[in-house]
Structure 1
Amino acid sequence: MFDHFVWSVVVVPPLIVLAVRLLADRFAPSAAATIMAWSAAAAGAASMTNLAVFALKAIAEVPAVGAMFGWSARVVADDTAHVAWVSWLSAVLLTASVVSVAWRWRRHRAALRSGRVALPDGDRLVVLADPTAQAFAVPGRPGHVVVTTGMRQLLTDRQFDALLAHEHAHLAARHHRLIRLAELAAAMHPALWWVVRQVDYLVERAADEQAAIDVGSRRTVAQAIGVAALAASGRPDTSYGLHAASAGGVVPRRVARLLHPRPTVRSRALRVLPVSLALASVVWTGEAIYDLCELLSAARPG
């Protein structure tokens, strides 16, 4: 059974990260974000399930448990005797993953609740009297865009329209779900944290592209992003939402993509690479569950 642990817990998550790194900028950003987020989530779930399988095996190796259920604990332990540590290490890692996923889920729910405000019917824009420059989308039904007066004063009318189009694109595509999916995947397996950064970048790129279509000017969107990023630089972000000017060094990349668009790759073979890795891990995990059942059956006397 050890090969299942190696493949799903040790090998596939880093390979998913490598595939994301190689392919993220080669596809249309909306499709790339969806592929990367779901592939990471499937790989993370497979990893956690494998840990659960080995954690159950650790419990089955306890003599008292074997006596209770009528199997030989020695036979169960002998299956991975050459790597005796793997079962109990899996139990520890599984506990850490469950705690991490639960914490991340509660944080998402709390953030969504804190961002909701009562709005008049049909009003999806909230303008806050705040000199700091912020603009972000808060998911919901239907969701709303929050803009501070500090941000509004920095933008021309055309740039403000571009900013609103960007944020409404986030809401229309429900990009927060892809980000949440990627973050839950990373909570399942820490190697997948790099995928979160890429999915975040890709949904911003997707919103940029939609905003450029809506306002009819890629340059205007690029200018709005640049102004918003400069205004927000050096200030810690304490709000929840999907931002026109995301943190870190991705803004120059986004502006460059808007001003100098590149053709995207339409190869299906490349698109299915991360998906294939994730599906292979899921299938391998199913075999791990089957192998554990077979092992417990073989450990029963007679």
Structure 2
Amino acid sequence: MAPSAARKLRPFLASWLLAVAAVVAGAGWAAALGMLGFTLIDRFPDLAAEGGWSSGELAEHTPVGWPVAAVCALILVACAGALAVAVYRRGRLLLVARRHSRGLEPGREIEIVDDAEPDAYALPGSPGRIVVTSGMLRALNSKERGALIAHERTHLRHRHHVFLLVFHLAGAVNPLLRPVERAGAFALERWADEEAAVAVGDRPLVARAVAKAALAAGRRPRLGLAVTGGPVPQRVQALLAPPPPSRRYLVVAHAALMAVCGISLILSAQDMDHLFDMATPGHLSVSTRHHVTDPDGHRVTDGGRHVTAAAGHPARG
């Protein structure tokens, strides 16, 4: 549903909702894999004993077979590795961007670089900077330059690089969230487009600036967020249309879906806790005890404890 949400909702709202969905879905995915994979401990009696659990009881009551648990554990390890690689690469990229930002002339929000290649992007930092090449300035007229700068200011003001980081890490943890990552990046560019249109008071002007900047710049690797990012034709089409209406029912549906995800995760964690409580000696559920009668007429639990059962009297634990 992420691509549809990015197109139909107001961009700032779509960005926030997709970011929340990415965090909830990524965390839920990892937690579910972890809980299922952890049941594999019943295959290792020594490890189970270290935790104070009975491997036999775990094996008897675990709702999944060990092959399923093993696959879940392997997937979780692979996802953790992908997350570590993503954190390392994104961290390096952000450090390079901040270092580059500190190397620019202090006290200036906009840095003009003498470069014939058209380019413009926002560098995260404290403070962030907007970098524009002389080639990009020559490709746009004065009003279009104003729209471009307004676009990049929105990226810096709302810290869109943090949103991008969240989307990217969620996609690294769970490959099924890659469409959310792409939709989120598109929503962020649309967010900057819409605020630029408000700032300059001319939606067609921002559409022209985006289109001309994209045609001039092509697809060059960048350190920061750029006006030419995302699917440009869709962005231009959205700018030439009226602003998207408020669709509150989609927000309510999103909130309900996030609540269902959260509640289901809590219930799963409670089931997991109950499973391991049952496997703890001395905390076995009455319903799971198997009673037998010894030759003297006493009931004996599976734990070896006797229960008095005198003739004519109900048995008491």
Same fold (TM over 0.5): yes
Give identity over the alignment, percent. Answer: 34
In the alignment, the residues of structure 1 paired with residue 79 and residue 21 of structure 2 have an alpha-carbon distance, to the nearest angstrom, of: 18
Give the equivalent residue in structure 1 for 2:179. 194
Residues 43 and 282 in structure 1, CA contact (< 8 A), matched pair in contact too: no
Q: 1:90 aligns with which of 39, 50, 72?
A: 72
Residues 171 and 181 in structure 2, CA contact (< 8 A), matched pair in contact too: yes
Q: Which whole-Å deviations, capped at 9, do the CAs of 1:162-190 have from their partners, x for residues lacking one? A: 10110001111111111111111111211
Q: Which whole-Å deviations, capped at 9, do the CAs of 1:61-92 have from their partners, x for residues lacking one? A: 42222233332213213334654322111111
In the alignment, the residues of structure 2 paired with residue 263 and residue 124 of structure 1 have an alpha-carbon distance, to the nearest angstrom, of: 31
Q: 1:153 aligns with which of 131, 135, 138?
A: 138
Q: Which whole-Å deviations, capped at 9, do the CAs of 1:217-244 have from their partners, x for residues lacking one? A: 11211111111111123x4x32221110
**Larger RCO, structures 1/2 (Cα 8 Å, 6+ apart):** 1
Residues 72 and 300 in structure 1, CA contact (< 8 A), matched pair in contact too: yes
Does residue 70 (structure 1) correspond to residue 52 (structure 2)? The answer is: yes
Give the equivalent residue in structure 1 for 2:168. 183
Residues 40 and 66 in structure 2, CA contact (< 8 A), matched pair in contact too: no
Residues 61 and 74 in structure 1, CA contact (< 8 A), matched pair in contact too: no
Give the equivalent residue in structure 1 for 2:310. none
Question: Structure 1 runs of 4+ off > 4 angstroms?
Answer: none
Q: 1:258 aligns with which of 239, 243, 253?
A: 239
Letter in 2 for 1:167: E
Structure 1 length-normalised TM:
0.86
Change in Cα spacing, 1:156 to 1:59, as seen in structure 2 (3 Å) is: same
Letter in 1 for 2:133: T
Give the equivalent residue in structure 1 for 2:290. none
Structure 2 length-normalised TM:
0.82
1:291 Cα shift? 1.6
1:205 Cα shift? 0.7
Give the equivalent residue in structure 1 for 2:226. 243
* Runs (5+) with no aligned partner, structure 1: 1-17
* Runs (5+) with no aligned partner, structure 2: 283-317
Change in Cα spacing, 1:82 to 1:40, as seen in structure 2 (3 Å) is: closer
Give the equivalent residue in structure 1 for 2:93. 111
Change in Cα spacing, 1:193 to 1:214, as seen in structure 2 (3 Å) is: same
Q: How does 1:204-243 map to 2 (within 5 A)?
A: 204-233=189-218, 235=219, 237-243=220-226
Residues 36 and 199 in structure 1, CA contact (< 8 A), matched pair in contact too: yes
Give the equivalent residue in structure 2 for 1:15. none
In the alignment, the residues of structure 2 paired with residue 288 and residue 263 of structure 1 have an alpha-carbon distance, to the nearest angstrom, of: 38
Letter in 2 for 1:282: G
Larger radius of gyration: 2
